[in-house]
Amino acid sequence: MTHGSFTFLKKIATCAGLALGLVLVSGQANAAFPDKPIQFISPFAAGGANDYLTRLMAQHMATELKGVIVAENKTGANGIVGATYVAKAAPDGYAVLTGNSATHGTNPTLYPNTPYDAVKDFAPISMIGFVPLTLSVDPRLGINSVAELIAYGKKNPGKLAFSSSGVGSTGHLAGEAFKAASGLDIVHVPYKGDAPAIGDVVAGQIALSFVGVASASALYQGGKIKVLAVASAKRSSTMPDVPTFAEAGFKDIEISQWFALFARAGTPKETIDLMNAAAKRVLMRPEIQKGIVTQGAEYEYSTPEQLAAFTKSEIKRFGDIIRRLNIKVD
């Protein structure tokens, strides 16, 4: 506020004390945020990267905001259920979505009648991080490389299936891209999150899975799955012995999951800025960064404006991939 504006308000207050009182009450109400519990919504199942990052940010942002944040899972329809919940919530900052590359990347193209608009219905808060995708396989297949997988698939057409966290998820896109590039006949089996998708590989129910490093890392280290490739520009720090898809001969397969915080559109800018500042302080803590990296993710802070621009660019990028591969929702 400029000095002139402040002087003008003082003059108004002299003539209309009630008006000044209303201004003060409004300011006090905003300053009190949060004065009730905030919901942090993960639109995917417990156990995956979306759930982990939701709970991590909820725990530490609660401390920064000096309030209570409750993490909840509202799953279904590739994140549409949870995203719609926040899109229809009151625009007051008390419902926050951990959105991702499905809710704010692929869904707008795959589901043109989705009950939310990924751009217009949300107020971006901050990016959280990125998780490269993996091509993980059942170790009982005896396959140790992408080349061996392709040889096996061509000898056994129609016998391979791959799981992902849902129709239109980044895992689905990566699987379809690999299918098109390799010429393999692979069936997609969608799940309600990375955890159940990779869980059925461990159980021997499905051969392959395209899930994030965060969901595959511990299972890989424990020998319960094999990871043949990561869909990132460089090797993952948590599994440095696993080649990238480019190193395996597929340079165009570079797809990562990403995660970010969104409130309902119309949430006061002061509230968004307050939460963004809290998110930044949390993400700058060395112990938080270490925890995120340990999960196979790369932390990433952004301003609300940067996240808004990034979301729009991702919707376009994924839309182009979906149309090129002719991916349809059954």
Distance of alpha carbon 304 from the chain centroid: 16
Measured distance CA(48)–CA(52) in Å, rounded = 6
Same domain, 104 and 139: no
- pTM of the shown model: 0.78
Asked, for residue 6, whether it belongs to a domain, the answer is: no
Measured distance CA(304)–CA(306) in Å, rounded = 6
Domain of 74, CATH number, reads 3.40.190.150
Same domain, 307 and 265: yes
Domain of 208, CATH number, reads 3.40.190.10
Last residue within a domain, chosen from 187, 215, 230: 230
Give the side-chain half-sphere CA count within 13 A for 269: 2
Asked, for residue 68, whether it belongs to a domain, the answer is: yes
pLDDT in tens, the chain (330 residues): 444 443 333 343 444 444 434 333 334 444 589 999 999 999 988 887 889 899 999 999 999 999 999 999 999 888 999 999 999 999 999 999 999 999 999 999 999 899 999 999 999 999 999 988 999 999 999 999 999 999 999 999 889 999 998 887 889 999 999 999 999 999 999 998 888 999 999 999 999 999 999 889 899 999 999 999 999 888 988 899 999 999 999 988 988 889 999 999 999 999 999 999 999 999 999 999 988 887 778 899 999 999 999 999 999 999 998 998 888 876
Same domain, 310 and 263: yes
Measured distance CA(72)–CA(40) in Å, rounded = 6
Same domain, 160 and 309: no
Range of the domain at 104: 31-130+258-325
Same domain, 126 and 271: yes
pLDDT given for residue 31 in this prediction: 57
Same domain, 150 and 222: yes
Asked, for residue 194, whether it belongs to a domain, the answer is: yes
Asked, for residue 118, whether it belongs to a domain, the answer is: yes
Same domain, 74 and 86: yes
Asked, for residue 10, whether it belongs to a domain, the answer is: no
Asked, for residue 216, whether it belongs to a domain, the answer is: yes
Please check whether residue 166 is in contact with residue 179, taking contact to mean a CB–CB distance below 8 angstroms: no
pLDDT given for residue 17 in this prediction: 42
pLDDT given for residue 120 in this prediction: 98
Same domain, 126 and 103: yes
Give the side-chain half-sphere CA count within 13 A for 104: 31
Number of independent structural domains in the chain: 2
